[in-house]
Structure 1
């Protein structure tokens, strides 16, 4: 097995560029700036999220990805960015998401792995520490 020189691989974004895209995604989510979000995702972007809740599954396409982000906010989810983790081809967001609705409380540690393509997010994959927690919190007919 050989390890190539990272500087010789074409189309790799700089650490600063990757961080900037990650920060724009979080900013768009927190401020509900859906135009900003659309500007940093590809038209065929996908977002997977585990579980059986109303926000779980695969969102396919920019409209579906933005709809998922809107639903998260509609449920009152507060997003705290803990860390931006930089990979060779992408970035991972380490988050702590919280929300309260009636007697239900969401307290979820989240990692969103973002694959980047042409300076935009092409795929998002959410990993959760408590899948059952989102299945209980995000249910149909609540909002």
Structure 2
């Protein structure tokens, strides 16, 4: 595949492996149909019972910031390696060149792939390539 080949997906749009949708907890009105997760098991999540106030827990996309993956034993880049994603205002995830060169994205992100086969939904989750070889992978989020 050449750089000018627009008939095949780019590396991001064609991501293969174990798909992960990173989310965060939020509180929503109990009247939101299908949004509630129900009560958390004892010792998990928040100690606050929000149901009495007419609310429920739900999940939503990450807020703007950085998402880091640390491959402890092995992975597509070797052992003890970092992978970084900038999280845009709209929750889309933009893979960075390296963990060391990672920078936040201002606004809604950078222009997406211009190929006709672009898959916009692919920007909303990450994939672990070769998950059977990765061992332990740590996922971290930072607003900074």
Q: Into which bin does the TM-score normalised by the smaller protein fall?
A: under 0.3
TM-score normalized by the length of structure 2: 0.24
TM-score normalized by the length of structure 1: 0.24
More helix per residue: 1
Larger RCO (CA within 8 A; separation ≥ 6): 2
More strand per residue: 1
